Structure 1
Amino acid sequence: LLRDTDSMSMAHSLEVRPPLLDIAIVRTVLSLPNDWKQDGKTPKALLVEAVGDLPSPIVFRRKTTFTFPWAIWLRGALRPMTERALMTLPDFISNLRPERVRAVWQNFRDGKTSWSRVWALAVLSFWLQENEVTRR
């Protein structure tokens, strides 16, 4: 998540600093006695106390993951760029025969495979083009 946030913010000339990773906060919290940080009942007790009265559903909710909506983007705004990248992958790389690449793309479009397989192939294509890798 930090890597994604950093990449996305830098791509748009933004400086994003996750507040709980600020060095002053980290140093302060590390200097506090452990019993101030944990009460045995409330997750992140010190944080909960610091931000004030939070509703119980917020304090005790399960952790959730965050992933950028790559599948939506690859089927939408990034589709033309992704298709071009996949169709220009060189066939001299083992197991990257055009029919296999097309099958991965079709399986993704049909919901049978993860966006990550398509994105990995697209990134490989971008890298090969950027670095002018050709058959020897």
Structure 2
Amino acid sequence: MDETGFTSEQVDEAIDYVIQNGACNNGSTTTYSLVFAAAGLAAPQELHNGGDSHVVSKFMEAFHHRCVGRGLPPLDALVVHVVGARKGQPGGGYFRINGLPDPFAQRTPPEQVVRAVHFWENQKLSCANWGT
């Protein structure tokens, strides 16, 4: 484990979990909590509450880049919140990593919302097509 708070093996374990429990099930979504548990990490809520929210962002960024490195579809598109205002939606970091504004943020202009949501839907579709 390095200064990020996780190892590359933990990232691979999380990716493998999503493959087995989301991607290979017609691109079904899964939750951040389950993905972090599969990696042997504390739940994202606990990391945020403990002042380690940077670990959540860094982990999901590593997850994203590792999918690319392994020649996988964008499996991070299938990881969503289980409760709250973003229930069923990815976190803002998902859009940031992909160079898009967060469509679920209040100040995002409507045309950018449409573009970002369309991108996310296409990413989920590519996972669903890969998993079947």
**Normalised-by-shorter TM-score class:** under 0.3
Q: TM-score, normalised by structure 2?
A: 0.25
Decide which structure has the larger Cα Rg and report it: 1
The answer to which structure, 1 or 2, has the higher relative contact order (CA under 8 A, 6+ apart) is: 2
